[in-house]
Amino acid sequence: MSSVSFKNPPAPANQTAANQPPVPANQSAASGNPSSQALVPSGASVPSMVTNTQLEGEFTARDMAIPYLSLGQKSGTMTDGHPEWIGKFVYDKSALLGDKIRVVVMSMKKSYEEVTEYGSDIIPQRFATAVEARESGVEFREVAQVDLLVEATNKDLADFATVTEGAVNLIPARWVVRSSSYGRVVGTLVRDLAGWLKGDLSSGFYEVTVQKQSGKGNTWFVPVMRTAGKVSPELRAEIKNRLGV
């Protein structure tokens, strides 16, 4: 039986909405705009954090800031100084994860955003429903915020693991998918939720790889999700106890 333990969560990423460039409609970057919303979805029962004499007040898992998971693109500002990140997953805009990761999905939130010209200073409008988006009169697209736990194969990142199962270290991440990445990720998860996941997003592992696509003289990278086994009952229980999902 695997033992499960917890370590301190990673430090918050210093990000603001203003320094996140809009992603063009034909680009499938998986980076997103920052949010103070924690890993735990609204309405979930949230357990208190481990007692720490340096914290005062009612701190819970919702207070944990989450670094973003991104997929490097040729035209993205994130890869301007790091060409080796193109076509690779990057954690918190600082740690290279490679072109294959293993994850457990915690939650998924769908919304809509205005399509803006890439490279402009315009911050896209965001809408909770399609009705709101249509009423705005702007061109818009679907977007999903996917909160997950990523296996930390990077030795340095392992020290920031929130959940550890045996030799596997899991770190929290927020992955925002849009454009062609949206259908590949959201479509897979919604389908599997009614299938092998049996109604529980966090009951299984996924292996996520990268696939290169091209069209209209441009190339970009999209994620490909494959099932990678069930989460053990012990790990699933600890995720529930720790994060309330």
On whether residue 95 sits in a domain, the answer given is: yes
- Work out how many domains the chain is built from and give that number: 1
On whether residue 29 sits in a domain, the answer given is: yes
Alpha carbon distance 71, 230 (integer Å) = 25
Q: Which pLDDT value is given to residue 75?
A: 81
Beta bridge partners of 1: none
Pairing of strands 69-71, 126-127: unpaired
Q: Which pLDDT value is given to residue 40?
A: 53
Beta bridge partners of 102: 207
Q: Which pLDDT value is given to residue 83?
A: 92
- Residue 148, SS3 per DSSP: strand
Render pLDDT for 35-91 as a digit per residue (tens, 0 to 9).
Answer: 434 555 555 554 555 556 777 887 766 676 789 999 999 887 888 889 999 999 999
**Cβ atoms 225, 144 nearer than 8 A:** no
Which phi and psi angles does 162 have, rounded to 5°? -90, -35
Tokens standing for 232? Answer: 């053990």
On whether residue 204 sits in a domain, the answer given is: yes
On whether residue 182 sits in a domain, the answer given is: yes
Q: How confident is the model at residue 158 (pLDDT cuts 50, 70, 90)?
A: confident
- For residues 237 and 226, the model is more confident at 226
Strand (E) or helix (H) holding 192 = helix 179-193
On whether residue 121 sits in a domain, the answer given is: no
On whether residue 67 sits in a domain, the answer given is: yes
Alpha carbon distance 71, 51 (integer Å) = 36
On whether residue 138 sits in a domain, the answer given is: no
**For the chain, percent of residues with pLDDT exceeding 90:** 54
**For the chain, percent of residues with pLDDT exceeding 70:** 77
Beta strands in the chain (DSSP E): 4-6, 69-71, 89-91, 95-98, 100-114, 126-127, 140-151, 163-165, 168-178, 204-215, 218-230
**Residue 199 structural domain:** 4-108+144-243
On whether residue 123 sits in a domain, the answer given is: no
